[in-house]
Amino acid sequence: MRKIIFVTGNRGKLREAKDILAAKDIEVIQNNHGYPELQEDELEPIAAYGAKWAADELKMPVMVDDSGLFIHALNGFPGPYSAFVEENLGNQRVLKLMEDETDRRATFKSVIGYCEPGGEPVVFTGTVDGNIAYEERGSGGFGYDPIFEYEGQTFGELGDAVKNTLSHRRRALDKFFDWLD
């Protein structure tokens, strides 16, 4: 079984990555050391920088994940600031921002960054298009899952087994896995 170090403090991301990559015979080992995050408008440079920094700091190959919810009516907000917004405002306040909006389209995006010590980082992007629900629904997942609706159900309603077959993180991890091979 192959092993990969996943630098994250987010238990939800860790659980998803473990579930998805276990099926590909890859053991995910958490390192919650963290890394400095660039302030950028896109996730790719954040993940690339984080992977390079962590690989050089830890002296081992690492994977990082930078994810965000991009809401069309809010010009892509919260985007790369999703974790900060979720932690400080929460889903209810995001729904409040969307109260009078008719355009509910949103994109969930995950960027996996991978780097070996002294090497150049590579990134793999996965996206899922959906809508912002009118209320929180479901108790599964984490973060924005209860308000992100995909084909009529929120990620919070789908359950991990279904969500992990189609999520933005799944799509990014599949690209990463293909590249690893």
- Tokens at residue 180, please? 């690893």
Which residues are annotated as catalytic?
66
End-to-end Cα spacing for the chain: 13
Beta bridge partners of 2: 26
Q: Which residue intervals of the chain are DSSP H helices?
A: 11-22, 43-58, 82-88, 90-97, 155-158, 160-166, 168-180
Rounded CA-CA distance 66/83 in Å is 9
Contact 5, 31 (CB under 8 A): yes
